[in-house]
């Protein structure tokens, strides 16, 4: 007997043999057991996740000679013929090869006739999104109101291409990508049944390479068994897939952690001796950076079965969290742009060098790579100035006293200067900016606000403004705000006056500029003062 590939030999024949997809299986099982069957089902999802398999098991459940149930016997002629693909009442159609409207009409001509052997006539249309618009139109009426003995099972990898009229006539089930852990466990059980020796690390490699597709995983496993001469070894699988030893990726991360550009390039050169897939290499680097970030933020969530777990924990202690996040972001952008690089290896090297170039440097730390460059002197920030001033003696306080409030000895107050010092923003600052100080008696303040800005005033904002004022003055105050015409200059009016003054000075400077005057005379140009803005 000829060899049968694993993907066909181990295709599930019952819902209980399916791996994952519990959210879909539970709905179908309940519908079958409770006789709540819809006339059209749509199964969506990426390749190899079980769309056609679920549809075939569903067709078997409908036509099993033991009755409609979620557990077909698998022994009767109907179950056996469906498994072998020769059941006359299961019409499987590959829509990719039958896209013409004539093909669809020919298919639907026999819908009205009763099934030949089974209980239901089941139409399984794979890759249904490949049908033409006219084919969908021919299918719509039958899909909405088929005869009671007909069920439609549609499968597609691209449901966005289906017309909304078709989607609305089907029960839609989205099959998810399978987790690598689920795929790896299934491969291990399968190889145990096949009596084939396998290394757990090799199965992890195959599960990750399958990218959520069980069919791809079984096809890769077939290839790995042939490549390894009847056994599945990690080294053979890595050579077959073109992946690298994770230790080389760890070396790149260790070079980044040390800020050593030469070591990073040396790690890339060592990896390049095996002609790797540089895009996959960068993806592996990003995956390890993700694990480092998890180890730093949520250590208990780190996978105990991670191959490089000890190295990840060591890197999590060495690398600052902000560096990890920066490297990950640069790596993501670099992975997107890597195909645009003249040389993939050079593109990967540039990604690593970019990570080091933008790496934050601690105080006193030398640059990670390249000669030192002279930098223009920068004035110290206002926040840093007090810390740089030497204390007059050992017992003197290190904290500088706060700037005194602008209140004169006679009790008068420069409200404009005081508002600028208050730590307020938003609507509360707008209220303070449009108030004027009418009178002050000790800690009793009386402000006025113009009726045009009355909507800014509320009891809550009056209370908050009093609290901020008290904190600024160092003692509690009582604040009253009256709504009336304001003759005094408010902070808002003072700010507008200064802005108008700067604008006038800017216009005067432009109009008096001899170069501007020459341009006006030469080109008969017109100067628009409204277009002039001062440089603040």
Domains in the chain, CATH or no CATH each: 6-174 (3.40.50.300), 180-241 (1.10.8.60), 246-357 (1.20.272.10), 415-488 (3.30.300.150), 500-531 (no CATH)
- Would you state the pLDDT for residue 102? 80
Once rounded to an integer, what is the mean pLDDT over residues 360-386?
45
Once rounded to an integer, what is the mean pLDDT over residues 94-104?
78
Three-state SS string over 194-254 comes to: HCCCECHHHHHHHHHHCCCCHHHHHHHHHHHHHHCCCCECHHHHHHHHCCCCHHHHHHHHH
Closest CA to 78 of 43, 110, 116, 40: 116
The model's pTM: 0.58
Please state, in angstroms and rounded to a whole number, the distance separating the CA atoms of residues 354 and 328.
12
Residue 390: pLDDT over 70: no
Highest mean pLDDT: which range of 108-112, 146-150, 298-302, 372-376: 146-150
Give Dmax over CA atoms of the chain in angstroms.
111
For 33, half-sphere exposure in the C-beta direction (CA atoms, 13 angstrom radius) is: 9
Specify which residues 435 forms β-bridges with. Answer: 449
Contacts (Cβ under 8 Å, ≥6 apart) of 9: none
Please state, in angstroms and rounded to a whole number, the distance separating the CA atoms of residues 160 and 163.
8
Q: Who wins on pLDDT, 305 or 172?
A: 172
- Would you state the pLDDT for residue 443? 85
For residue 382, the tally of other CB atoms under 10 A from its CB is 7
- Would you state the pLDDT for residue 360? 72
pLDDT digits (tens, 9 = 90+) for 460-488: 888 889 989 888 888 898 999 998 888 88
Q: Are strands 435-441 and 444-449 parallel, antiparallel or unpaired?
A: antiparallel
How distant is the alpha carbon of residue 332 from its chain centre? 11
pLDDT digits (tens, 9 = 90+) for 42-73: 999 988 898 999 999 999 999 998 889 899 98
Q: Which residues of 112-128 are buried (b: 16+ CB within 10 A; e: fewer)?
A: eeebeebbbbbbbbbbb
SS3 state of residue 527: coil
Once rounded to an integer, what is the mean pLDDT over residues 496-505?
90
Band of the pLDDT at 369, cuts 50, 70, 90?
A: very low
Residue 146: pLDDT over 50: yes
Please state, in angstroms and rounded to a whole number, the distance separating the CA atoms of residues 359 and 355.
6
- Would you state the pLDDT for residue 305? 65
Band of the pLDDT at 368, cuts 50, 70, 90?
A: very low
Residue 405: pLDDT over 70: no
pLDDT digits (tens, 9 = 90+) for 259-277: 899 999 998 988 887 767 7
Contacts (Cβ under 8 Å, ≥6 apart) of 175: 21, 24, 43, 44, 45, 49, 50, 51, 54
Please state, in angstroms and rounded to a whole number, the distance separating the CA atoms of residues 214 and 193.
17
The token pair at 245 is 């030893």
pLDDT digits (tens, 9 = 90+) for 308-318: 788 888 888 88
Closest CA to 99 of 61, 58, 127, 78: 127
pLDDT digits (tens, 9 = 90+) for 243-262: 666 778 889 999 999 889 99
Residue 306: pLDDT over 80: no
The token pair at 137 is 């139109």
Q: Is 69 within 8 Å of 61 (Cβ atoms)?
A: yes
Residue 509: pLDDT over 80: yes
Please state, in angstroms and rounded to a whole number, the distance separating the CA atoms of residues 529 and 522.
19
Closest CA to 486 of 408, 416, 428: 416
Contacts (Cβ under 8 Å, ≥6 apart) of 23: 176
- Would you state the pLDDT for residue 409? 43
**Segments in 10-132 forming alpha helices (H):** 22-33, 51-63, 77-84, 101-108
Between helix 426-433 and helix 491-511 the angle, nearest 10°, is 80
């Amino acid at each position: 007997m000829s060899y049968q590939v694993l993907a066909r030999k181990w295709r599930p024949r019952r819902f209980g043999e399916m791996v994952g997809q519990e959210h879909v299986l539970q709905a179908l099982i309940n519908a079958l057991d409770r006789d709540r069957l819809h006339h059209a089902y749509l199964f969506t999802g990426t390749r190899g996740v079980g769309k056609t398999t679920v549809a075939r098991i569903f067709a078997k459940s409908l036509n099993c000679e033991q009755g409609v149930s979620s557990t077909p016997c698998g022994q009767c002629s109907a179950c056996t013929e469906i498994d072998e693909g020769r059941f006359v009442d299961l019409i499987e159609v590959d829509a990719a090869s039958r896209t013409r409207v004539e093909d669809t009409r020919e298919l639907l001509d026999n819908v009205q006739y009763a099934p030949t052997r089974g209980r239901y006539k089941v139409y399984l249309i794979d890759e249904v999104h490949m049908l033409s618009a006219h084919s969908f139109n021919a299918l719509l009426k039958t899909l909405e109101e088929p005869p009671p003995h007909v069920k439609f099972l549609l499968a597609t990898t691209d449901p966005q291409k289906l017309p909304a009229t078709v989607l609305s006539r089907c029960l839609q089930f989205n099959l998810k990508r399978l987790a690598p852990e689920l795929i790896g466990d299934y491969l291990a059980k399968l190889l145990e049944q096949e009596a084939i020796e396998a290394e757990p690390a090799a199965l992890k490699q195959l599960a990750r390479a399958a990218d959520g597709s069980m069919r791809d995983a079984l096809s890769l496993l077939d290839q790995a068994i042939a490549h390894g001469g009847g056994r599945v070894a990690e080294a053979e699988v890595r050579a077959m897939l073109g992946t690298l030893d994770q230790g080389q990726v760890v070396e790149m991360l260790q070079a980044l952690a040390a800020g050593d550009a030469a070591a990073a390039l040396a790690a890339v050169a060592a990896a390049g001796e095996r002609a790797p897939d540089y895009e996959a290499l960068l993806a592996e680097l990003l995956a390890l950076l993700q694990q480092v970030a998890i180890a730093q933020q949520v250590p208990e969530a780190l996978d105990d079965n991670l191959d490089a777990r000890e190295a990840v924990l060591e890197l999590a202690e060495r690398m600052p969290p902000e560096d990890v996040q920066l490297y990950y972001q640069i790596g993501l952008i670099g992975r997107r742009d890597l195909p645009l690089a003249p040389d993939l290896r050079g593109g990967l090297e540039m990604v690593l060098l970019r990570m080091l170039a933008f790496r934050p440097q601690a105080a006193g730390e030398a640059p990670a790579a390249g000669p030192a460059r002279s930098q223009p002197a920068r004035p110290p920030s206002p926040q840093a100035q007090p810390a740089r001033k030497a204390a007059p003696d050992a017992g003197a306080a290190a904290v500088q006293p706060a700037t005194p409030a602008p209140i004169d000895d006679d009790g008068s107050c420069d409200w404009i200067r005081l508002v600028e010092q208050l730590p307020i923003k938003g609507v509360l600052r707008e209220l303070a900016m449009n108030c004027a100080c009418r009178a002050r008696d000790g800690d009793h303040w009386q402000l006025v606000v113009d009726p045009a800005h009355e909507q800014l005033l509320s009891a809550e904002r009056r209370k908050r403004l009093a609290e901020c004022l008290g904190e600024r003055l160092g003692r509690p105050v009582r604040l009253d705000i009256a709504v009336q015409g304001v003759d005094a200059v408010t902070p808002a009016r003072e700010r507008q006056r200064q802005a108008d003054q700067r604008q006038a000075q800017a216009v005067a400077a432009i109009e008096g500029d001899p170069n501007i005057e020459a341009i006006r005379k030469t080109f008969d140009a017109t100067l628009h003062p409204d277009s002039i803005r001062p440089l603040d």
